[in-house]
Amino acid sequence: MAIEKIFKDDATEEKGERARMASFVGAIAITDLVKTTLGPKGMDKILQSTGRGHGVTVTNDGATILKSLHIDNPAAKVLIDISKVQDDEVGDGTTSVVVLAGELLREAEKLVAAKIHPMTIISGYRMAAECARSALLQRVVDNKEDAEKFKSDLMKIAMTTLSSKILSQDKEHFAQLAVDAVMRLKGSTNLEAIQIIKKPGGSLKDSFLDEGFILDKKIGLGQPKRIENAKILVANTAMDTDKVKIYGARVRVDSMSKVAEIEGAEKEKMREKVQKIIAHGINCFVNRQLIYNFPEELFADAGILAIEHADFDGIERLALVTGGDIASTFDNPESVKLGHCKVIEEIMIGEDKLIHFSGVEMGQACTIVLRGASHHMLDEAERSLHDALCVLSQTVNDTRVLLGGGWPEMIMSKEVDELARKTPGKKSHAIEAFSRALVAIPTIIADNAGLDSADLVAQLRAAHHKEGCNAGIDVISGSVGDMAELGISESFKVKQAVLLSATEAAEMILRVDEIITCAPRQREDRM
């Protein structure tokens, strides 16, 4: 008797070998896509959208590339997800995590072909990941006690992070900016207080850090250009003349004088609202919405600086850094928390006038102004700087530091190899495969720089058999170098996140033995 079909007509299912094959192929294809962006000599990708305006993004950031791809393969989606989480969690290592997961799957494919059960591979990978993590923990350096050393650690980490990005030419300058900005945060990981403003013009070298807050707006006409000891009311309220806002209302009048009366009433209503606002005892009013000419005049007469149309991001951050609340009603002034700052003045950056709030309540607030030749460059510079800021703020909390340049991978690989030799049974093959996958990262870094990776990695492996070795790949000179002398450092938290996320993602994809695709929902004919 024929078995009845369970699924609808268009649904498809793939079982066993075919399902696993589809997972492996998808994951490895994604890895091959981003692996050329890894390391200091990694190349950039141009992403062109097919939507309106054909927007172009030029980027080297793994998470940004993968976020923009629309992909059908389920396993590839898992990898895109881990790269997003890595970006949100620690900021850097978005490419490494995908590459490592892909390499683990590439090795697993060979093991599955050799008739080793996926569960055996998974338990081997688990043991190997634990061993690799403990190998790193034994070799971390923690300079939390010594402020000078810790600051130089942060500088090194920032320079290492930036060296694979567009800012690598001026990495000292930007590393200094990033470290200063993060040091002001005094250990909080809330990057809201660091504002990044992009202004085309000048070169990347002209970027600078400014204490305080800069709002990308102009000061209105006839208003004070400089205010000291400002009391700021941040609001989100309609300041256009209160028209009769009853939709579909029709007002019938029998003479023009009645129209004038209605207009007069509207004006009076507006005047009352402005009086209420002035009663807060403020000298600066920032509104998210428009402020019409009439209320603006009233504010100017009262000597109050009124700023309109401050974008939402702008006023949220302004309220945060000046310590005020965003108000929308003004009936009881005593319950509204005002923001404070020492000086508000107008400054020029390039061609544009901006408003500068200095001496704000939240001392850790600062603004980084990026200059650059074009919008694409500025966007990429902002992404790179954001990665550096994320990594640094995480490192300030978890102060453990490792060397970079393929050194951690070689350390882990050596320990994992030792473990494979001690482990009996089929698991040892999986553990050995894990060690090979780890070595793939230095290999790819060398390949991307056009070096002979086989030779360099063999030299590295030999160097790492000596105790206390600091060898890693020095991409600039194209040889094996001492990472401690070259000052190439990475945050332990980033490496740990890469290792654990990649292992878990590979594990998840390995467990799959069937892929079921639903039938699309049929549209009813609405005729």
pLDDT at 295: 80
pLDDT tens digits for range 152-183: 888 888 888 888 888 778 888 888 888 888 88
pLDDT tens digits for range 433-442: 999 999 999 9
Tell whether the model's pLDDT for residue 244 goes beyond 60: no
57 is catalytic: no
Those residues whose C-beta lies under 8 Å from the C-beta of residue 190, and which sit 6 or more positions away, are none
Looking at 31, 95, 367, 503, which residue is catalytic? 95
Tell whether the model's pLDDT for residue 348 goes beyond 80: yes
What is the residue whose two structure tokens read 């490496």? 495
Q: How far is CA 282 from the centre of its chain?
A: 37
pLDDT tens digits for range 444-454: 989 998 889 89
Tell whether the model's pLDDT for residue 101 goes beyond 90: yes
pLDDT at 1: 45
pLDDT at 394: 87
pLDDT tens digits for range 364-420: 778 888 888 888 888 888 888 888 888 888 888 888 888 888 898 999 999 999 999
pLDDT at 527: 56
pLDDT at 422: 92
Tell whether the model's pLDDT for residue 517 goes beyond 90: no
Looking at 37, 57, 59, 94, which residue is catalytic? 94
pLDDT at 161: 87
pLDDT tens digits for range 2-12: 456 777 777 77
387 is catalytic: yes
Contact 235, 287 (CB under 8 A): yes
Tell whether the model's pLDDT for residue 280 goes beyond 50: yes
Strand partners, 514: 15
pLDDT at 283: 83
pLDDT tens digits for range 33-56: 998 998 888 888 898 887 777 788
pLDDT tens digits for range 118-152: 999 999 999 999 999 999 999 888 887 888 888 88
95 is catalytic: yes
352 is catalytic: no
Nearest to 195 by CA among 311, 360, 318: 318
For residue 143, what are the CA distances in angstroms to 112, 152, 395, 396, 398? 44, 10, 11, 11, 11
pLDDT at 134: 93
Give the percent of the chain with pLDDT over 70: 95
DSSP conformation class of 351: T
Tell whether the model's pLDDT for residue 308 goes beyond 60: yes
Tell whether the model's pLDDT for residue 301 goes beyond 50: yes
Which tops the pLDDT comparison, 242 or 309? 309
Tell whether the model's pLDDT for residue 239 goes beyond 60: yes
CA-CA distance, 338 to 45, in Å (whole number)? 46
Mean pLDDT computed over every residue of the chain: 84
Pairing relation of β-strands 12-15 and 489-491? unpaired
For residue 176, what are the CA distances in angstroms to 93, 157, 158, 460? 21, 11, 8, 31
Q: Give φ, ψ of 239 to 5 degrees.
A: -115, 20
pLDDT at 241: 63
- Rounded to whole angstroms, the maximal C-alpha distance in the chain is 101
CA-CA distance, 40 to 446, in Å (whole number)? 10
Looking at 387, 417, 447, 474, which residue is catalytic? 387
User: pTM of this prediction?
Assistant: 0.84
Picking from 75-79, 116-120, 271-275, 358-362, which range would have the lowest pLDDT averaged per residue? 358-362
